[in-house]
Structure 1
Amino acid sequence: MPERDDKRKIVLPGAGRVAPQHCVRQLAPLLGRMLLLCLPLFVAGALSGCSAPKRAAVVSLEQPAGKKRVVNRSRYQYHRVRRGDTLYTIAWRYGVDYPDLARWNSIGYPYTIYPGQRLRLSDVADAAASGVLRPTVRQKRAADSSATRSAKSGGAPGKRPSPGAHRTEAGKVATTPRSLLWSWPAKGQVLQRYAKGDPARKGIKIGGRLGQRVAAAESGKVVYAGSGLIGYGRLIIIKHNKNYLSAYGYNRRLLVAEGDVVKRGQSVAEMGEQGGGRPKLHFEIRRNGTPVDPLTLLPRRR
């Protein structure tokens, strides 16, 4: 009978388990091969992301109250009419003369437009898009029109009638429009002056009191009264003649409506505040759609 081995095996805690260091040593070659396989894909993805053209930033025409909407007309060829738009406000927004806007879109007086209508913002947009110009037709029409006018007046073609002989359709002699006599729209300190070429300073700002009287700077017809132009608050636009418009913004309350005829010095609004700041009036004058310095037209204060 063989001798019995009384020696017992001593089992240490953790025996039979692979030490963590040993696992790392075993996995290291595998991880290295995976890294070598994935690295080219990662680099290719990174390079393709860098070479891809950047998406143009989305430009929103809606801006928070208190900030002027600055629109670069060269970026827009058309405007889609929305509810509340008028030909005057669209022209004002894009810095163009309203008669030009009407002519580019074949819109006659009283300049009626409709929601959803698409308006061209320049006289070259259509020609540039189609690439077709027809100067010969234009010249022929102009010649025919000139001949027709000459035949009606009894004069020779191409000869202009004398200024005294020019008459309106009603038979009245046309006269030169009177010179405009501007007056201050509100009493108060000029808080901000006009700066040519600065889209945020197209007019002047006059400080005052909340509810203070705002008057028409010259006689004319109200062509807009509302709050559809972002950045102007409650706004009034007055047409004085075919060349000049004036605008009164940041009002608390409007006292006139579109179509009203107003006299110089007549109250048209109550001064308000914009963005919770000091009460003030934003005042602009535009000639043929272009902002001009109101201080060069307003009388000098004593």
Structure 2
Amino acid sequence: METREIHRHAGWLSGLAAVLVMAGCAGTQSVPPSDTLAGSSPSSQPAAAPSAATPPPAPILVAQKYVVKRGDTLTGIASANNCSIADLRTWNKLGTGRLRMGQVLRIVRQQPLPSSGAAGAQAAASDGAAANQATAQATASTASDRQVVKDTKRHSSAVALTWPASGKIVDGFRPGQNRGIQIAGRPGDPVRAAAAGRVMYAGTGLNDYGSLIIVQHNADFLTAYAHNRKLLVKTGDIVRQGDEIAEMGDLDNSRVALLFEVRRDGKPVNPMPYLPSSQG
């Protein structure tokens, strides 16, 4: 498997390269779309166009489950859930066989963020002291954000991480066999940023990763958080170490667990040397 190296001198391009590298390692397969009827023979129908790979401006993604009923087709399920057949195949690793009654499918829905209008009305109703305090906090946050962005462009030989989740390590790092460690937990357990950085990707466009977040920390290191139930950040967001960025889930995974990766120059490395010796 060939891995592309992240470009060292362009912040956004390096993040895009990281996504492309991970996409290559995920082993995405192209499956021609077709319609499949549960409980009857397959029939060919035009497929919906695949959804855009670029994440929406402000996505909050929630993985839900759908139980196939007699007579269900991929076209009908996709239409009822406002997605494409290609989406259903990606989320559920579907081949060309027919659907089965009782089969459980994962469906990823997007929930809009609270409207800025409501936030603006609430701010307008605040008294002068509260408004001044909010302004001061926003100014400090902006300065801090600028510093984080600067750090993502600097080279470093290391990165200091904290544990992204609490739980038992059920799959350790094995060079050449996997890409990170898996930390088991319960649905909805918090997934936290292991270090401050900028979200370079948040979405479901890569096979084998489910709902994925990639955070760049400096010009050499990034971390990835896969198989989430719900994403709480979007591409471009600035996160601080310990911020909750997702809820643990099992999207595109056989169990509820966080797949946590550390990548140096685009290549997966063992996360353990960069993490504290204990989760406490």
Structure with higher strand content: 2
TM-score (norm 2): 0.47
Pick the structure with greater CA Rg. Answer: 1
Higher RCO by CA contacts (8 Å cutoff, separation 6 or greater): 2
TM-score (norm 1): 0.44
